[in-house]
Amino acid sequence: MTKLSRRNFLYTTGAAAAATLASPLVARAGTDTIKVGGLHDLSGALDSTGVPMNQVFQLAIKEINDAGGLLGKQVEAVIYDPQSNMSLYSQYATQLALKDKVDVVMGGITSASRETIRPIFHRYNTFYFYNTQYEGGVCDRNEITLGTTPAQTVKRVIPYAMNLYGKKVYTVAADYNYGHITAAWVKRYVEENGGEVIATEFFPLDVAQFGSTISKIQGAKPDFVLSAMVGTSHLGFYRQWAAAGMKSQIPIVSTVYGAGGTEQVILTHEESDGIIASFGYFEAIDNPTNKAFLEKVAQEYPDKKWVMSEISEVTYEGMKIWADAVKEAGSTKRDALLEVLTSGKTYDMPAGKVKIDPKTQHAVRDVYIATCKDGVFGINETFPDSQPEDTQMVCDLIKDPKSNTQYEISL
Amino acid sequence: MEKSVLRDPGFYVMVAIGLAAMLILPVVLDMFTIMQITQYVVLAVFALSLGYIWGFGGILSFGQAAFFGLGAYTFAVAAINIGETTIPLILAFAIPCLFGAALGYFIFYGRLSDVYLGVVTMVVTLLFWKLANHTAGPEYAIGEARLGGFNGIPSIPVMNIPGEPEAMLDPVQMFQVFMGFLIVVYIVLRLLIASDFGRVSIGIRENETRASLLGYDVRRHKLVVFAIGSGIAGLAGAMWATYQAFIDPNAFSMEMSAKALVWVMAGGVGTLVGPIIGVILLQWLTLKLGTMELLNSLAVLGAIMMVLVLALPKGIVPTLRKLIVDGWTLARRKKTGGKADE
Amino acid sequence: MDYTLVVALEMIRAIAWLVLLASGLAIIFGMMRIINFAHGEFLMLGGYTVVISTNAGVNEWVSILILAPVVVGVFGIIVERLVIQRLYGRILDSLLATWGLSMLMMGGVTMIFGNTVQGVSTPFGGMKIGAYQVPIYNFVLIGFAVLVLVAIWCVLKFTKAGLIARATMQNADMAEALGIRTRWVYMTTFGIGSAITGLAGGLLAPVTGVVPTMGMNLVGQSFITVITGGASVIAGTLSSATLLGTISQGVTFLTGPVYGDAALLVTALVLLRLLPQGITGRIFKRSL
């Protein structure tokens, strides 16, 4: 090996490349660590949502380690990028459960990805935290669900908007599970409050042209438009709505606008101003925990362009709550943790008070209504202790701990 | 193609490798790795379906995913309704095969060829994809199976032993059964290609006009090849559905069709081993890329594809084969003292 | 009455949209029989150029009308030199290579610029038609679609370059024999096709969300329009865009966007079955 021949060079660099490929991205710090899995899309169509979640996830772990770790061990993240691809989700989930043998997994963004990996974690008894707002109904003792469901947000924002604007509602929603279920809840709450949904339209996730719909809405003259539009193609709706000069005429209320933390950045202020939304977290929440949290995020990721949204903040919550339970239980065993988690303890989080409902293992949390102004949401109203009523209608894990399904809540 | 398959040692070697993998791998590897390999096996069957119609029938389909997805959905719906998996598996071959025949009639009897054939198959795939994505509402159910739109169908039954719905296969058994499928598909295709029928389809691939002037019914021939390919793609779809236990409209995506093209292309058109190797190589790479954060995985995969097309236009297997043959002749020439052989 | 007018306008806008999406691709495919699968990402690059330069303080119109076509055009020439020129006559290899390019561009743009970029707002605002309001920008889109087609037609019909291009298109070997350097013709054609695509991407930037993956949803429509149209650039693009745009928007108004999109695909299928070489393979055969 004195001369560096071309073949030798290729061979050695090839081997080096193979070695980098084969090791997960966080170097193993030895065997004596507690491993936690992270499954967020870091490339592909969902990366704009997945990257912030993953960053906050790592920040939470860093904080835990800086404070001395858990049970005398350091916490180590095993992170995979499912590339917005469902079959990679199922593979990495299996890998986390069987090969890496992690103690808990945080992750999954869309409901499709959750329903892909949830049964896998259930089968292999790998504790799972799903930290995204979703349509509700998951009933699985192996999963803790911390994001908001329609009964928490839609229930609050509909009467609020009807008071403000009037009783005639036009719903536009994404043509998939979440959109359909949200639209059904919207209809229910509008009617409960004595209003009327004059039309509901569903749009496939790849539709980017809304001219015909905007004309139809103009013809129908609703008091406000309720949007459950999802994804980047659907951002076209807000742009074309503003371009038609409709911003000053019919207000928009949304159940998802701002969920990913990138919408306010991609749209201009003229397009996004005045949109009303309801979530479990906004940057504007005024409490010391949140202030400290945002400062730390800004320190850790000074170049970040995204806005902290519910989905990312809840990912942080997931990690912190799990760590707190591990400390209290003195173990990483799922059943011991569940006992602590469902004991009714209240957690002080940037989003406010969070508690876990033992029946559904969903979060009972503060819900906020906010209006977008200059690209920033300002909070109008706070609803403390909002229960996941939709899931509570169908799921009781105390009575039926073996349950392993997502119920469809029929309205 | 002159010599019969049964006298080709390569054929026996391949079958032997397959059988050895089927029996030995479960003993030496852990369950997780076996599950990984199962995925390659399923996709290899899918790649073979395209490798056959493209390499041995001259039909370049941009929409092989249409049949893959159709097979997967057929299997899912049937298995959920029937409660066992043998009949659904047969249906998952038969329905895409029939659909392929119908579409083939539309295409070949309309004398569509070349790019236009590609676009028609692509449009059909897009159409399936759009419609499958539109089935989120509760009104879209076939029997007990909700189609589920974008989210797809979860909880698809695991494959069971024929006649015993309770006897579900464990991951290792599933690997062995799927490996068996792959070997059978390989053998059937090899025999088919070596038969009179196969020779005619190769003749058509080489020169359509000449074949038709010699009196062969080109359209019918292509239709049959296309339908067989569709059936095999459907079978692969069913395997995919039961392996993952869920299926979503991405089975119909252009990406799925394009992946099949890349596997065949990378492995080598006009071979059956090539597509299998293409699957293993590129799927392994995709998986590995997801475990590192250095570079965007899409970018790396894209760059690799471009390099493959530019550097190995014939594909890996034909290039290797040529290298080996060249090396062999060179070695023989040296042995015989520099004289050209024969 | 107002409603009819609004529907008609929306149909014309849909046609203009398809024309803008497809023109650049039609030039490349019609002249060179090369399938550029990264077409959607070329559009995305145009959109990104506009968004980034506008955020950096460049006038919005300067970015749309000058920067976007120039950047994407130059990028197209580079791609042609590095990749495409090795693949002439290998339609399939070109497809696979450009598919790789499309992934590389998606990943590359994400790495360099990130996936969240502040968008640009739509200029001009709305205009009243009876009880309805439509964006004035729709007329801009329609105007540019017409302009692009007229410009291509003038170049092909009246200039020497157009003559050379048409000659190369009809019979490349003969053109070469007559002393035309077809390599340069191809390179220029690819560059111009890319520049038009860049302009289209730039024009789309104010009305859609500009993200690295936006091309994926556009490439299908562009292809179907070009292939349904057949080999002639202008007549083909215009006739297929008209047909597909009218039918899909008509159905969208009557039912909803899903069936509108499905109607577009079914129309394309039926047309290809009846006219296997595209519309201009049978009708308007001698047109440009």
- Decide: residue A298, CB within 10 A, 0-12 exposed, 13-18 middle, 19+ buried: exposed
Nearest residue of chain A to residue B299 (CA atoms): A43
B11-15, C78-82, C162-166 — which is least confidently predicted? C162-166
Q: Assess contact for B247 and B149: CB atoms under 8 A.
A: no
**pLDDT value of residue C19:** 93
C-beta atoms of A175 and C110 within 8 A: no
Tokens of A336: 């011991």
Residue A19, pLDDT above cutoff 50:
no
CATH of domain A151-279: 3.40.50.2300
Give the whole-angstrom CA distance, residue B207 versus residue B111. Answer: 15
Q: B149, B107, B103: which is closest to B129 by C-alpha? A: B149
Does the beta-carbon distance from C134 to A235 stay under 8 Å? no
Cβ separation of C35 and B298 shorter than 8 Å? no
* Per-residue confidence (pLDDT) for residue C275, from 0 to 100: 80
Task: State how far the Cα of A50 lies from the Cα of B209, in Å rounded to an integer.
Answer: 54
pLDDT at A72 over 80: yes
pLDDT of residue A10: 39
Q: What is the pLDDT of residue A388?
A: 92
Task: Give yes or no for B262 touching C (CB within 8 A).
Answer: yes
Compute the average pLDDT of residues C57-84.
Answer: 92
Most B CBs within 10 Å, among C273, C274, C277, C279, to test the B interface: C273
Q: Per the structure block, which two tokens stand in for A383?
A: 């609803």
Q: Where are the alpha helices (DSSP H) in C33-170?
A: 39-55, 60-62, 68-82, 91-113, 137-158, 160-170
pLDDT for C209 = 73
Lowest-pLDDT range of A202-211, A295-304, C53-62, C273-282: C273-282
Grade residue B301 by pLDDT with cuts at 50, 70 and 90. confident
Percent of chain B with pLDDT over 70: 94
pLDDT for A126 beyond 90: yes
* CA distance linking residue C79 with residue C61, whole number of Å: 26
Average pLDDT over residues A292-296: 94
**Mean pLDDT within A206-219:** 84
Residue C41 pLDDT more than 50? yes
Q: Which residue has the higher pLDDT, B134 or C116?
A: B134
Among A114-123, A173-182, A305-314, C251-260, the least confident range? C251-260
- Scanning A107-166 for CB atoms below 8 A from B yields 110-112, 115-116, 119
More confident position, C17 or C166: C17
Weakest mean pLDDT among A110-114, A367-371, B113-117 = B113-117
Q: What is the DSSP letter of A411?
A: -
Res. C282 pLDDT band, cuts 50 70 90: low
Span B144-157, average pLDDT: 84
Is B274 a member of any domain?
no
**Pairing label, strands A363-373, A276-279:** antiparallel
Give the pLDDT confidence score for residue A225 in this predicted structure: 95
Q: Which residues of B touch A102 (CB under 8 A)?
A: none
Which pLDDT does position A25 carry in this prediction? 44
Q: Tell me: pLDDT of A230 over 90.
A: no
Domain range annotation of chain A: 33-148+286-365+386-405, 151-279
φ, ψ dihedrals at A223, nearest 5°: -80, -35
Cβ-nearest to C126 among A204, A244, A266: A244
Task: Look at residue C28 and tell me if it is in a domain.
Answer: yes
Tell me: pLDDT of B336 over 90. Answer: no
Question: If you average pLDDT over residues A43-55, what whole number do you get?
Answer: 85
B341 confidence band (pLDDT: 50, 70, 90): very low
For residue A31, pLDDT beyond 80: no
How far apart (Å, rounded) are the C-alpha atoms in residues A261 and B277? 42
Residue C288 counted as domain residue: no
Q: Where are the beta strands (DSSP E) in A316-409?
A: 346-349, 352-356, 363-373, 376-386, 404-406
Confidence (pLDDT) at A30: 46
Positive or negative: CA dihedral C64, C67, C73, C79: negative
pLDDT band, very low/low/confident/very high, at A22 (cuts 50, 70, 90): very low
Cα atoms found within 13 Å of the Cα of residue B198, Cβ hemisphere only? 17
- Predicted TM-score (pTM) of this structure: 0.83
Q: What is the pLDDT confidence band of residue A8, given thresholds at 50, 70 and 90?
A: very low
Decide if pLDDT at B237 tops 90: yes
Domain count for chain B, please give it.
Answer: 1
Tell me the mean pLDDT in the region A350-372. Answer: 94
What digits encode the pLDDT tens for the residues C150-204?
A: 999 998 888 888 888 888 877 778 888 888 888 888 899 899 999 999 999 999 8
Residue A12 has pLDDT above 50, yes or no: no
Burial of A331 (0-12, 13-18, 19+ CB in 10 A): middle
Cβ within 8 Å, pair A202-B296 = no
Which positions ≥6 away from B336 have C-beta within 8 Å?
A: none
Instruction: Write the CB contacts of A355 (distance below 8 Å, at least 6 apart in sequence).
Output: A344, A345, A346, A347, A363, A364, A365, A385
With an 8 Å Cβ cutoff, is A81 touching chain B? yes
Q: Is pLDDT at A88 greater than 50 in this prediction? A: yes
Question: Is the pLDDT at C120 greater than 80, yes or no?
Answer: no
| DSSP symbol at B158 | P
Instruction: Classify residue A63 as exposed, middle or buried by CB count within 10 Å of its CB (0-12, 13-18, 19+).
Output: middle
CATH 3.40.50.620 describes domain A33-148+286-365+386-405 = no
Tell me how many domains chain C contains.
1
Q: How many CB atoms lie within 10 A of CB C150?
A: 11
Report whether pLDDT(C59) > 70: yes
Spell out the residues 6+ positions from residue C272 whose beta carbon is closer than 8 angstroms to its own: B110, B112, B116, B119, B120, B123, C227, C228, C278
Report the distance separating Cα A257 and Cα A276, nearest Å.
Answer: 8
Cβ within 8 Å of A, C 225-284: 249, 252-253, 256-258, 260-261
- List chains adjacent to chain B, taking adjacency as at least 3 C-beta pairs closer than 8 Å: A, C
Q: Hey, are the CB atoms on B292 and A86 less than 8 Å from each other?
A: no
Q: How confident is the model at residue A28 (pLDDT cuts 50, 70, 90)?
A: very low
Eight-state DSSP code of residue C66: I
Q: Which residues of A touch B296 (CB under 8 A)?
A: 43
- Report for A230-234, B71-75, C106-110, C272-276: range of highest mean pLDDT: B71-75
* Cβ atoms of residues B167 and B160 within 8 Å: yes
Q: Other C-beta atoms within 10 Å of C74: how many?
A: 14
Averaged pLDDT, A96-108 = 92
At residue A24 the predicted structure's pLDDT band, cuts being 50, 70 and 90, is very low
Cα-based torsion angle of the residue sequence B306, B308, B311, B314 in order, rounded to the nearest 10 degrees: -130
Answer yes or no: is B239 within a domain. Answer: yes
Residue C201 carries which side chain, given as an amino acid letter?
A: G
> Pick from C167, C202, C210: which is nearest to C186 by CA?
C167
pLDDT at B108 over 80: yes
Q: Which residue has the higher pLDDT, B227 or C7?
A: B227
What percent of chain A is modeled with pLDDT above 90?
57
Question: Chain C neighbours among B 78-137 (CB < 8 Å)?
Answer: 106, 110-116, 119-120, 122-124, 126-127, 130-131, 134
Residue A40 pLDDT grade (very low, low, confident, very high; cuts 50, 70, 90): very high
Buried b (16+ CB within 10 A) or exposed e, C16-34: bbbbbbbbbbbbbbbbbbb
| Strand bridging mode B141-142 / B145-146 | antiparallel
- So what's the pLDDT on residue B17? 92
Show residues of chain C in contact with A209, CB under 8 Å.
14, 17, 257
Rounded CA-CA distance A272/A375 in Å is 6
* Tally of helices (H runs) and strands (E runs) in chain C: 13, 2
Q: Is residue C225 part of a domain?
A: no
Cα–Cα distance measured from residue A43 to residue A64, given in angstroms and rounded to the nearest whole number: 27
* Residues of chain C contacting A262 with CB distance shorter than 8 Å: 115-116
Residues of chain C with Cβ-Cβ distance to A234 below 8 Å are 209
Q: Which pair of structure tokens corresponds to residue C246?
A: 């009218």
Neighbours of A6 (CB within 10 A): 7
Residue B190, Cα to own-chain centre: how many angstroms? 14
Average pLDDT over residues A253-270: 85
Q: How confident is the model at residue A27 (pLDDT cuts 50, 70, 90)?
A: very low
- Asked whether residue C84 is domain-assigned, the answer is yes
Mean of pLDDT over chain A: 86
Whether A81 shows a pLDDT value over 70: the answer reads: yes
Residue B4 CB neighbour total at 10 angstroms: 11
CA dist., res. C223 & res. C163, Å (int)? 26
Q: Are B313 and C93 in contact (CB under 8 A)?
A: yes
Q: How far apart are CA B318 and CA B303, in angstroms?
A: 22
ipTM over 0.85: no
Q: Which of B318, B8, B35 is nearest to B176 (CA)?
A: B35
- Is B120 in contact with C103 (Cβ distance < 8 A)? no
How confident is the model over B57-102, as pLDDT tens digits?
988 888 899 999 999 999 999 999 988 889 999 999 999 999 999 9
**pLDDT, tens digit, for every residue of A145-167?**
999 999 899 999 999 999 999 99
Q: What is the mean pLDDT of residues A56-76?
A: 93
Alpha-carbon torsion B283, B286, B289, B295, what sign? positive
Name which of A212, A230, A240 to mutate to probe chain C: the one with the most chain C Cβ atoms within 10 A of its Cβ: A212
**Testing the interface with A: which of B38, B175, B242, B293 to mutate, by most A Cβ within 10 A?**
B293
Residue B138: phi and psi, rounded to 5, are -65, -15
Tell me which chain A residue has its CA closest to the CA of residue B149.
Answer: A176
CA distance A351 to C134: 40
Q: Is A304 left (phi over 0), alpha (psi -120 to 50) or beta?
A: beta
Across chain B, mean pLDDT equals: 86
Q: In this complex, do A176 and B246 lie within 8 Å of one another by their Cβ atoms?
A: no
CA distance A321 to A362: 13
Range of the domain at B9: 5-253
Continuous segment of H or E residues that includes residue B222: helix B218-244
Residue of C nearest to A242 (CA): C125
d(CA A59, CA A315): 10
Minimal CA separation from B121 to chain A, in Å: 20
Residue among A78, A93, A205, A197 at smallest CA distance from A142: A93
Mean pLDDT of A201-208: 83
Residue from A148, A363, A159 nearest A276 by CA = A159
Three-state DSSP state, C196: helix
